[in-house]
Amino acid sequence: MPEKIHSCLSELDLTGRSFLTIHDYSPEEVAALLDLAAALKDAQKRRAAHPVLAGRAVAMIFMKTSTRTRVSFEIGIEQLGAQPMFLSANDIQLRVGETIKDTANVMSRYVDCIMIRTFAQKDVEDLAEYGQIPVINGLTDTHHPCQGMADALTVREHCGKLEGVKLVYSGDGNNVAHSLAEVGAKTGMHIVICTPDGYGPDMDIVARAQADAAETGASIELTSDLQAAVQGADVIYTDTFTSMGEETEHDVRLAALKAYQVNMDLVNRAGPQVKVMHCLPAHWGEEITEEVLYSPNSVVFDQAENRMHAQKAIMAAVIR
């Protein structure tokens, strides 16, 4: 095992813990996970083998379809030396035919970790409560913590730091906005969430992040004035205006959020230093333009790659 990975793992004591939200982890633990992710990324780039989970097995439950989550987890699990097992909504139906308590107990006898991408946060929490193995939240309607960790890794790479970085999120106050607020609060970032009236984030999650921010010097701000917010921003971030399950609202949401599109006029207002992020998939002409997505300001595809490295760090830390 590369020495840097060994060193990072020796400083972590997360074995057996679930990864349900970033709020559950201390600033020191978040920083250590990011260091481990960077070490794992470096090892992968150098083609240095790092099978720290050899002999382990990870179940991947997908109640929602995905491109990046499926590929990044499956390849990442194999790179760590473990066996991935893919289970779709057709293979396993939580709370249908078998209680989630029974499912959690059975799966705990077969595999060493469960990654689940689903709708309700409570399903993830119940799996973690009733099982005897760590559960990793691959996405719910309210949280996207693996994405948040990948985002922090990307910002750190391109801005050289996290503390004091100003990240402006534009669009719908969804699960991505929630996890950005949480990771920003843990790492000393200045997160500005820009949404129109009626599309703001969950205020309980925001209040919790603001309490965390008070301990790290971070700040979590809400506004509807995107044009003012992006001035001097280090990062502009956006996500789809219509999340999975909201397809019938597409036209209404697009009309309400059209002023929050990330285009070159907005990028130019922020300044040449600004980096643009998007968790993908992107819908050109809606929340972002193709011109911006492929501009020199865009770090979107570095961000997509970092999903794998951040997730590998989480798995390596909690499964050992």
Q: How far is CA 216 from the centre of its chain?
A: 20
Beta strands in the chain, from DSSP E residues, in sequence order? 57-62, 83-88, 113-117, 135-139, 166-170, 190-194, 219-223, 235-238, 275-278
Q: How far apart are CA 256 and CA 126, in angstroms?
A: 35
Residue appearing with tokens 């969804």: 174
Q: How far apart are CA 256 and CA 199, in angstroms?
A: 9
Look up residue 46 and give its two tokens.
């150098």
Q: What is the 3-state secondary structure (H, E, C) of 33-97?
A: HHHHHHHHHHHHHCCCCCCCCCCCEEEEEECCCCCHHHHHHHHHHHHCCCEEEEEECCCCCCCCC
Of 19, 255, 252, 241, the C-alpha closest to 114 is 19
Of 81, 95, 89, the C-alpha closest to 62 is 89
Please list, in sequence order, all residues whose beta carbon lies within 8 angstroms of the beta carbon of residue 298, skipping any fewer than 6 positions away: 275, 276, 278, 292
Residue appearing with tokens 């972590």: 12
Residues taking part in catalysis: 117, 144, 147, 239, 279, 307
Look up residue 177 and give its two tokens.
């906005």
Look up residue 55 and give its two tokens.
């002999």
Q: How far apart are CA 135 and CA 104, in angstroms?
A: 10
* Phi-psi domain of 103 (left: phi exceeds 0; alpha: psi -120 through 50; beta: other): alpha
Q: Is 134 helix (H, G, I), strand (E, B) or coil?
A: coil
